[in-house]
Each structure stands twice: as structure tokens, then as C-alpha cells.
């Protein structure tokens, strides 16, 4: 099977979030049929949703030999390994892995929408994604990620020191 370039978002705001995210990158890279090609810096971001701690977010570029639904299943499996429990929509979490882009595919199924339906509204996704894939063209808006970031309010997104 040919390799497909994908973009994912990573987030955490429970426990040692930075350690969790670093471990998630290693876990992804050690997962058969997934190779992590790059990942962004780590960003502290204000939460969306109910009151909760700030998040640490990042994005990663993957090359995968999986179909979109198979990749989604692997991401959900990795979330479970890191004790992700889904209690409330947009609630706090140990690990969140969102499939943002699967090459230039536009897809809508009962369990997966590509590109991610809210990614263009979220600075906590666009800031780290623009760092590693500024020229990737969003298949629906036809705008590059760097262009989408220009219209987002990124005031709640701060790069963590190395």
C-alpha cells in the first residue's frame, strides 16, 4: 500500500501533559504502518468548553500505510492506552489525538469527517500546524494553513520554552 501524508493534532490537560504528549509521539512512531515525520513545538493553550486546566497542544505530520478509518481506530486505541476517558464533550483529557488532514481527501462518514470540521476555527491547531506544514492546502477552503492562521485569534496560544 502506498504511504499517505497525514496531519494530526495532539492535546492533553490532565496529569503530566508534556510527558504524555512526548510518549504519544514515540508510541505513534512505534505503531506499525505509522511513521512520525515531524512534530511541532509544544504550545500552552486556553481550553475550549467547560472550565478546566490549560492544554498543551502540538501537531504532527505522519506517513501512514492505513486507510483513514484504520488510522482513526489506531489513534483511538492509543488514546485508550493513555487512559483517555470520554465523560463530557470538550472536557479535560489525558490525551486527545485528532486526525486533521489525510492528504487532500474530503470524506464524510458516520464516524469520520475529513478534513477535521473545526480545525480552521482553532488557533490551538493552526498555530502548531502552520509551524510544520504552512503550505499544506486545506482541501475544502483551498487556503494554505499559514493563510488560515492569519484570520485566527491566536492570543490564547503560547509556545512553551524548550
Catalytic residue ranges: 84, 93, 96, 98
| Largest separation between any pair of C-alpha atoms in the chain | 44
Residues forming beta bridges with residue 101, ordered by sequence position: 7
Query: Residue 4 in 3-state DSSP?
Result: strand
Concatenated DSSP letters for 12-62? E-SSSHHHHHHHHHHHHHTSTTEEEEEE---EEE---SSS-PPEEEEEEEE
Strand 43-45 versus strand 96-102 pairing type:
unpaired
Amino acid at each position: 500500500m502506498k504511504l499517505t501524508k497525514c496531519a494530526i493534532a495532539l492535546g492533553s490537560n490532565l496529569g503530566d501533559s508534556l510527558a504524555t504528549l512526548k510518549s504519544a509521539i514515540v508510541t505513534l512512531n512505534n505503531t506499525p504502518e505509522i511513521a512520525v515525520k515531524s512534530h511541532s513545538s509544544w504550545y500552552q493553550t486556553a481550553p475550549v468548553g467547560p472550565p478546566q486546566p490549560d492544554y498543551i497542544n502540538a501537531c504532527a505530520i505522519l506517513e501512514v500505510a492505513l486507510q483513514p478509518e484504520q488510522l482513526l481506530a489506531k489513534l483511538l486505541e492509543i488514546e485508550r492506552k493513555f487512559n483517555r476517558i470520554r465523560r463530557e464533550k470538550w472536557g479535560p483529557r489525558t490525551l486527545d489525538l485528532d486526525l486533521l488532514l489525510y492528504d487532500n481527501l474530503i470524506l464524510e462518514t458516520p464516524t469520520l469527517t475529513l478534513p477535521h470540521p473545526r480545525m480552521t476555527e482553532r488557533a490551538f491547531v493552526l498555530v502548531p500546524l502552520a509551524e510544520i506544514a504552512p503550505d499544506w492546502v486545506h482541501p475544502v477552503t483551498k487556503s494554505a494553513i499559514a493563510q488560515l492562521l492569519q484570520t485566527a485569534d491566536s492570543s490564547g496560544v503560547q509556545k512553551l520554552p524548550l
